[in-house]
Amino acid sequence: MSLASPLTDRDGVPSGVAASVVDWWTSLESDWQAVCLGALLVVLVRLGLPIPW
């Protein structure tokens, strides 16, 4: 038995907003997924997230 979280129900199935985000993400073609991932990284770094090597 899995526990519910803010993003999933008790069975681990995405619920509400999380499900919409997953649906939107999987509907994107691979190139756009890469663009979104890159843009997210740029925003996070701009907001102060350091990424070490």
Partner 1 sequence: MARRLVPGVALLLGLGLVARGISTIVPAANYLIVTILLGLVVGNTYGVPDWAQAGVATHKQWLEAGIVVMGASVAIDRVVAAGPTLVLLVLATVTITIIVVELLARFVFDINEETGSLLAAGSGICGVSAVVAIAESIDVDETRIAYAAATVLLFDAAMVFVYPLVGHALDLSSTVFGVWAGLTMFSTGPVTAAGFAFSDTAGEWSVLVKLTRNATIGLAAIAYAVYYARRGRAAGVEGHGLGYLWERFPKFILGFLGTMLVANLGLLSAGQVTSLANASDWAFLLAFAGLGMGIQLDELRSTGYRPVLTVLIGLVLVATTMLFVVRALF
Q: How far is the CB of 17 from partner 1 (least distance, A)?
A: 14
Q: Cα angle vertex 24, ends 39, 34, to 5°?
A: 30
Binding status of residue 16 toward partner 1 by CB under 8 A? no
Count of residues that interact with partner 1, criterion CB under 8 A: 24
Name residue, tokens 């843009």: 39
Binding status of residue 41 toward partner 1 by CB under 8 A? yes
Q: 48 — alpha (psi -120 to 50), left (phi > 0) or beta?
A: left
Footprint on this chain of partner 1 (rule: CB under 8 A): 12, 14, 22, 25-26, 29-35, 37-39, 41-42, 45-46, 49-53
